[in-house]
Structure 1
């Protein structure tokens, strides 16, 4: 295989490690980063998977395969498969680990047996698994000890390692709505713009919307309008930064007025404009009730 073929092929990641160390959490975080994740893949299927990514490189640019002892006897071939594939396209291995006592507590918390426990105890299963994984752990590119990490912290660690440089870590939707049609059920935060005069009662503005310049000028000229928007945008910045630290991937700020046609639409646009520069955040706008009569 040429250097160009390695460079042009998909990036392939093997996710493995100790049962209970967080493989499912890591897989979910990778899916949120637009990786194509295959769970519980037998090691023998890694070669066909790699060939598939070469054929469909544009459709599958990033593929993660979760490989672990659930593959039973088939798992024994993983070290050899990893060795033979090392010179293939951007193949990396991440190994998730945790201290034995932490793994025991996690299995006890979910009241499930260890997959290698058999007739023994949880710690017996953990020790058997460590023996089987010793070579795999030694050859891993990245080892993550999750002993002191909760699921949110582990997700954040995965994002830090595998998110594309400059990619948004949080998507914010700023949504206008009309209170008379009900609160958006998916709103994380709600702003009420009914403290401003309603353009609906202005004959020249009634038939227009918050997307028209005349309505924008009217709303922003009202006492307290710009001050509120500026202050609310500043208050949201640390919230959005905190969401990224906690690996909360999406949030909705709902901005309401009576009918969702004038004041809330103007404010939505202004907030989105002010928040567009927050690092790591992609901002979208939505006008839920703009088209209602």
Structure 2
């Protein structure tokens, strides 16, 4: 069975991700307590189900500690992938405020007994981070802080389609003005390079457009930056592999995430496509196109 587990912070887009799995033909269940996973997978496997998506969040706080052992047990017989959705505290507070929804942990727990003390939203988010932080290392993390719903849907579909054997390299472009991605393992700042934005003919284009590609390709400093980043990765990739990493996210940042970072992420991805499973994402390239995540 292909089993996709979706977890992470409440308000980070788990319902959007689960809907994307459902659209892709997965049998989906929301908010399943982890202790029932083994039973559920065994039953559905017997019934002939081959694709299952399960969302697990802080409402299952009492059994979250069991997740690592459950994931290991399931991985012995099934293709198990964990997708961890994260978001900045500021973004989460804004989303809960806009939707007027209560955070699952807004009512505090005291000695496993529910009491009437209402925790502040910021405190609830802080507590939830502690509950789920141990799950990050088991899967692929996506920072949805400034991500749009349609972009997240596309990234989830990309996540379930690629070959998971071996180390997966994720080259992600971003703009510093929207913050550094929480899911980045390595961050390279390319803002010192000449910016196509100041060329009026290139301003409204992106690093995927040929005029911008031609502009940046002609600058020797850009090529030197790409060579240096590639050399660093070539040197240290074997060590990341030896650390049994499944995913490595290399974030390339420029000012707005539209030109330089996009071009460099694409160029680096093309260089390493023969050495690893390579994915490319551009966090801010379509920032004005899609409606933002609200759940």
Structure 1 length-normalised TM: 0.50
Higher relative contact order, chain-length normalized (CA < 8 Å, sep 6+): 2
Structure 2 length-normalised TM: 0.49
Q: Which of structures 1 and 2 has the bigger CA Rg?
A: 1
